[in-house]
Chain A
Amino acid sequence: MKKSAINYFLIAPALLISIAIILVPGILTIIMSFTDWNGISPNINFIGLGNFQELFADDVFWKSIFNNVKWTILFLTIPVALALLVSALLVEKKKSRSLYQVIFLIPYVLAPAVNAMLWLNIIFNPMSGVIGYLRTIGLDIGSPLTNMSGALYAVAAVDIWHYWGYLSVIYLAALRQTPTDQVEAARVDGCNAWQVFRYVYFPSMKSTFKLMYVMIIIFSFLAFDYIKLLTGGGPAHSTEVLGTYAYTFAFSALQVGKASAVGLFMSFFGMIASVIYTKLSKNEEIA
Chain B
Amino acid sequence: MKLKRILSILLVLAMTVGMMAGCGKKSSESADDGKSDGAKEEIVMWFWGAEPYAQKVLNANLADKYNASQDKYTLKIEYRNSVDSDMTTALAANKGPDIVYGSGPSFVMPLVEAGKLEPMDKYAEQYGWADRILKPIYESGTVDGKLYSLANSLNTVGVFYNKKVLEDNGWAVPTTVAEMEKIMDEAMAKGMYASVTGNKGWKPVNENYASLFLTHYAGADTVYKCLKGEEKWNNEAVVSAIEKSAEWYDKGYLAGKDYGNMNFSEALQMLADERSPFFIGPTLGYQWAQSFFTDDKVDNLAFIPFPATDKVTEPTYTLSVCCTFSINANVAQDHKDEAAKIIDIMMQPEFTEEMTSVWPGYWGTPLKDLSTVDVESMTGLSKSYMETIKNIAAAVNDGNFGYYTNVFFPSATQQVFIDIENVWYGTESASDLMDKADTEFTKELEKGLVPPVPQAGVKAE
Contacts and interface: CB of A to CB of B under 8 A. Distances in A.
B84 A251 contact: yes
B266 A127 contact: yes
A61 to B, nearest CB: 13
| Nearest 7 Cβ contacts at the A-B interface | A146-B260, A236-B425, A143-B261, A142-B257, A41-B114, A232-B203, A253-B412
Contact of A125 (B9, B204, B266, B421): B266
A254 B412 contact: yes
B157 to A, nearest CB: 20
Interface of A: 6, 9-10, 12-13, 16-17, 38-43, 120, 124-127, 131, 142-143, 145-146, 148, 229, 231-238, 248, 251-255
Given A126-B266, A255-B412, A40 B261 contact: no
Given A127-B270, A145-B261, A234-B421, A17 B110 contact: no
A145 B115 contact: no
20 contacts: A9-B9, A16-B19, A40-B111, A43-B113, A125-B266, A127-B266, A143-B260, A146-B258, A232-B203, A234-B260, A234-B421, A237-B419, A237-B427, A238-B425, A251-B85, A253-B412, A253-B414, A253-B440, A254-B88, A254-B110
B240 interface: no
Contact of B203 (A17, A38, A145, A233): A233
Interface residues of B, number: 47
A248 B415 contact: yes
Per DSSP, are chain B's interface residues mostly helix, strand or loop, or mixed? helix
Contacts of A253: 411-412, 414-415, 440
Contacts of B270: 127
Nearest to B410: A254
Contact of A236 (B12, B89, B414, B421): B421
B261 A12 contact: no
Given A9-B12, A127-B266, A251-B85, A235 B425 contact: yes
A40 B9 contact: no
Interface string B247-287: 00000000001111110001001100000000000000000
B42 to A, nearest CB: 24
Interface in B176-221: 199-204
Nearest to A151: B260
B411 A252 contact: yes
A125 B261 CA distance: 7
A5 to B, nearest CB: 12
A229 B422 CA distance: 20
B427 A236 contact: yes
Interface string B416-427: 001101101101
A9 to B, nearest CB: 7
Nearest to A251: B85
A145 B19 CA distance: 42
Contact of A126 (B261, B422, B427): B261
A40 B116 contact: yes
A10 B12 CA distance: 6
A119 to B, nearest CB: 12
B203 A251 contact: no
A233 B425 CA distance: 14
A10 B262 contact: no
B5 interface: yes
A17 B18 CA distance: 12
Contacts of A231: 260
Given A41-B110, A126-B266, A235-B425, 20 more contacts: A6-B9, A9-B9, A10-B8, A40-B91, A131-B261, A142-B258, A143-B258, A148-B425, A148-B427, A231-B260, A232-B199, A236-B419, A236-B424, A236-B428, A237-B427, A248-B415, A253-B414, A253-B440, A254-B88, A255-B412
A13 B12 contact: yes
Contacts of A13: 12, 15-16, 19
Contacts of B203: 232-234
Given A233-B203, A248-B415, A126 B262 contact: yes
B450 to A, nearest CB: 13
B92 A39 contact: yes
